[in-house]
Amino acid sequence: MKIGLMLGATDEGNLDSIIESAKRAEASGFDNLWMANIFGYDAISTLALIGRETSTIGLGTAVTPTYPRHPTAIAQQAVTTGVAAGGRFTLGIGLSHKVVIEDMLGFSYDKPARHMREYLEVLGPLLRGETVNFDGEQYRVHNLTISVPDRKPVPLLIAALGPAMLKLAGEKADGTVTWMTGPNTLETHIAPSITGAATAAGRDAPRIAAGFPVVLTSDADGAREFIAKTLQIYGMLPSYRAMLDKEGVTGPAELAIVGDEAALRSAIDRLRNIGVTDFCASVTARDADELRRTTEFLATLV
């Protein structure tokens, strides 16, 4: 299992400081860096810049929403970033949430699984250097190829939690990215669903990149209280709420990996044993010292 960090989890710095954080993560030996695309820096562009400043660490979006960007546009961005990063870039995409896509941006969030299926019919071939000819309800693309002479492979992950999306991820992508999804749910729902779909489609075993809030601390109660306040919104979004309910927890704080070295090591080992291929640590620290100590410990697990 690869050990990676989520960029920007507690770092609200400028672009230069984000790039410096990435360079430190590479120097510490981390396998991957992941970046969410919310309402700050564009994740794909930022990772392209980081790709030019690093040489070994894997880079990935976790995740970039599909609705605001045409699949041809995101394909161009992804292929360009793949080149900038020397083949170390993984594109993670997701549907986002109705409150963002419909209420904030004004797009219809009706039939999201159908939207993603059509999106992949355009995006997948473009990432592979193929010509797209596709007629769907939302996308109609003809005779389009992205011609980049020094292109690199760009693996594709989909944020998939429900049965329809997991089936789609197994059939059409290289794996999934999860958030607010506990170990029991990963073991009994996520892993068997996506693996079964990939096997049935004749694809390789899928990557399962699992994101968790993580804090190394002797004050577990205080850390969980901080996480409960900081990540409260995730317990209210329907797709994440469904995963928290499936896990049998009330909110993000109960899902977080919090405690001393033994507690963190045990929790992360369990994820490795149930088939998680990429651990994405969102270090949700209360101060710079807690951030430093947690990150240094995670580096010892690589």
Confidence of residue 13 (pLDDT cuts 50, 70, 90): confident
187-201: average pLDDT: 98
Asked whether residue 10 carries a pLDDT value surpassing 50, the answer given is no
User: In 82-163, at which residue ranges do the beta strands (DSSP E only) sit?
Assistant: 89-94, 132-135, 140-144, 156-158
Buried b (16+ CB within 10 A) or exposed e, 240-260: beebbebbebebbbbbbbbbe
pLDDT digits (tens, 9 = 90+) for 199-247: 999 999 999 999 999 999 999 999 999 999 999 999 999 999 999 999 9
pLDDT attached to residue 12 = 59
- 135 touches 144 (CB < 8 A): no
Among 50, 123, 124, CA closest to 89:
50
Give, rounded to a whole angstrom, the gap between the first and last alpha carbons of the chain: 8
Q: What is the pLDDT of residues 104-153, one digit of tens each?
A: 999 999 999 999 999 999 999 999 999 999 999 999 999 999 999 999 99
For the domain spanning 2-300, the CATH number is 3.20.20.30
Write down the domain spans for the chain.
2-300
Residue with tokens 């410990």: 297
